[in-house]
Amino acid sequence: MIGPVLAARGLARQFGDHLAVTHADIDLHAGRITGLVGPNGAGKTTLLLMLAGLLEPDRGTIEFDGTAVEHAKLRAAIGWMPDAFGTWESLTPREILVAFGRLYGMAATDADLRARELLTLVHLEDFTDSPASGLSRGQKQRLGLARALVNRPRILLLDEPASGMDPRSRIELRTLLRQMADAGTAVLVSSHILAELDEMSDDIVMMQGGATRIPEPSRHASWRIRRVGDAPDRAVTVELADDAAAAAYLAKLIADGHAIAEFTRVDTGLEQVYLDLDADRT
């Protein structure tokens, strides 16, 4: 694998007496989606802010394209979507995106064209010239995603991007992020929607107590099995070691003459890894 576009080692950040991040290591690779997982208060947002060049670490290093980071150069290459995108309520979505385009150095006409292109991409074209104050929570999230893409970033950092989105928008978000990764963007997504994160991510980084680690593969998973003719509440759940064990189990059921109507994994490996953290509910 080619070296990471963005590499962080030993990042730490303290606010007064609170150690938000104690030791964070992370590599982001072009063409791959990395999922960042952990309980509330684990330090994920603080880590994202440091990676985005918006917060100076107390210690540790960040390298961009293999060299020590220059924050201005890094910010120009990064798209950043916070968990809540504060809009300028009196402006329209087009005006907001044009303003950010101008801040990135675009000519006025180019910024306007980019704004209209992005509003179509996130399905907000019907609200192009309506006040942003009228947007719903999910629509504001989609506008926040559009804002993060204004500069055609090489690195995309997303903090709970699906929060407030309806199911269709969440599906479209996953598809878009996969397309961007396939086109060479390095994507980092922090999310509590573990099933969706597991589905889209190439790599996973866990964070707890301000420190990161690469999780061990899940040791087991649960599968729901229902035979033909059985009501849904007659389904049984079995725990199997891995996909290979599940395939062998299903093959034996069929070989023994059982007609199987449903054989479905009911948890994800990522969910089990998260539960193995024994993290407090927050």
Homologous superfamily (CATH) for 6-213: P-loop containing nucleotide triphosphate hydrolases (3.40.50.300)
Domain residue ranges in the chain: 6-213, 221-276
Residue 50 has pLDDT above 70, yes or no: yes
The Cα-based distances of 229 to 4, 67, 257, 261, 278 in angstroms read 52, 63, 14, 8, 39
Q: What would the two tokens of residue 178 be?
A: 């996969």
Query: What's 2's DSSP letter?
Result: P
Q: What percent of the chain has pLDDT over 70?
A: 93
pTM for the structure as a whole: 0.82
The Cα-based distances of 234 to 83, 116, 231, 262 in angstroms read 41, 52, 5, 11
Q: What would the two tokens of residue 274 be?
A: 């998260």
State the amino acid at position 101 in one-letter form. Answer: G
pLDDT at 206: 92
Report residue 278's pLDDT band, with 50, 70 and 90 as the boundaries: low
pLDDT, tens digit (0-9, with 9 covering 90-100), for 182-237: 999 999 999 888 878 888 889 999 999 999 998 776 666 788 999 998 988 888 88
